[in-house]
Structure 1
């Protein structure tokens, strides 16, 4: 049984019905937090759920009303045409989320990024946050924008902001098989169970303070060798991964 949080938070989770949002919402509810979902379609798994598009700024603002924490997971999650596919959800929608967070006076904004922002880096050691970014597609470029927008919101509007570079998170059996067949995939794996635990720490951690931001990698334990330096996740957020590929996955993977 999951222990209850010391301070229950009023959380908005965008993309609540998505692959990452589903286990994250379930875990936060078990912790005793009040979770409101925001998704494109209705989700009867949540008692408090809003339906809307990230491109609708008014719908986003309504969803953020009375929340003290926002976890922004919703986005188009793959490389695609920038103008026709990525621009509205990943750029305009991100702008609406940041504006809504500021207007609602939330204490903490937690935004999903991706390991694809570092896909162009080549190192013979674990990649560190301080190594910077090297996107190789427009999807990753939208996440670089998201990270910089988050840092600006923290700096200018005095919010506490966490930017989460999510590891290889298999959304279905096909993706899990692809991960398992990859020579490096099991080292970048992020389990469904560890996702719940990671975002728990993002919500409940005392850091960062208002006006500050943290960028952190989010993965499970590497199966072979560490590829990422998890210092920020461990030391600043108090996250310790438990799973190793293929642990913590809720569907068939072979």
Structure 2
């Protein structure tokens, strides 16, 4: 998979939380060699050990601030993916991983002297808008569920740490992350306007890690779908992001010949 080249050619030490989740595992498997990865999992199991050739495996919990800070030492950028990802989760289920855990992550990054946090926000932070409204990065947050509320909190917390504490933070509102093949399943077709392919999201994460000039930004993590619930203009202009995939083009391949 092609990934953007860092013009400086520098290596960066990158901590990835949320391994071995879907995005964390795929990023670990496809990140360019210039990233020296430290992969944080809640426990070491077979899926985690399968990634050991891709980076250093460390075991940690977002609830343990002391241990988390130790894992952040020597790290340039943290890609923070760990969270409860369920849009149906209750407040009690979300409080520790998505609220307390996000605070601990930013606090640990600051204490350890990290340069940047790339925070996995979500399209759910703005899903409260009508279907015919394409959300810009400067539109107000508008969550449609409590999971989205926690992502709004993470974006606000990131801005605080960027503008008041000197940490660089980029929040990616990630869409429906799936392989292209998932689009051909009936259950997924209704999510095409919010689709992001595996290679497009990994490309965007790499660009967010490599950027040198950003203090704080919210970017939109979708593929170049013909119809998009999130506007990509700012993300293209600021980070040179030109996604390769289009969910609707892929769906047309299902059509029988005329």
TM-score greater than 0.5 by the shorter chain: yes
Q: Distance in 2 between the 1:90 and 1:17 partners?
A: 17
Q: Distance in 2 between the 1:190 and 1:179 partners?
A: 16
What is the CA distance between 1:178 and its match in structure 2?
A: 5.3
Tell me the equivalent position of 2:255: none
TM-score of the aligned structures, taking structure 1 as reference length: 0.86
What is the CA distance between 1:247 and its match in structure 2?
A: 9.2
8 Å contact kept, 1:166–1:217: yes
Whether 2:213 is the aligned partner of 1:207: answer yes
1:20-59 equivalences under 5 Å are 20-28=23-31, 30-42=32-44, 43-44=48-49, 45-46=51-52, 47-59=55-67
Whether 2:233 is the aligned partner of 1:231: answer yes
8 Å contact kept, 1:191–1:247: no
Q: 1:87 to 1:71 in 2, by over 3 A?
A: same
Tell me the equivalent position of 2:13: 10
What is the CA distance between 1:145 and its match in structure 2?
A: 0.6
Q: 1:55 to 1:247 in 2, by over 3 A?
A: farther
Q: Distance in 1 between the 2:173 and 2:197 partners?
A: 14
Whether 2:121 is the aligned partner of 1:121: answer no
What residue ranges of structure 1 are gaps of 5+ in the alignment? Answer: 249-254
8 Å contact kept, 1:19–1:171: no
Q: Distance in 1 between the 2:70 and 2:183 partners?
A: 34
Q: Distance in 2 between the 1:27 and 1:246 partners?
A: 25
What is the CA distance between 1:41 and its match in structure 2?
A: 2.5
Whether 2:61 is the aligned partner of 1:61: answer no
Q: Distance in 1 between the 2:186 and 2:64 partners?
A: 35
* Structure 2 residue matching 1:164: 3-state secondary structure: strand
Work out which of the residue numbers 198, 211, 219 in structure 2 matches 1:216.
219
**Aligned-residue CA RMSD in angstroms?**
2.4
Tell me the equivalent position of 2:253: none
Work out which of the residue numbers 169, 191, 196 in structure 2 matches 1:190.
196
8 Å contact kept, 1:36–1:49: yes
Q: Distance in 1 between the 2:105 and 2:140 partners?
A: 24
8 Å contact kept, 2:18–2:40: yes
* Structure 1 residue matching 2:121: 3-state secondary structure: strand
What residue ranges of structure 2 are gaps of 5+ in the alignment? Answer: 251-258
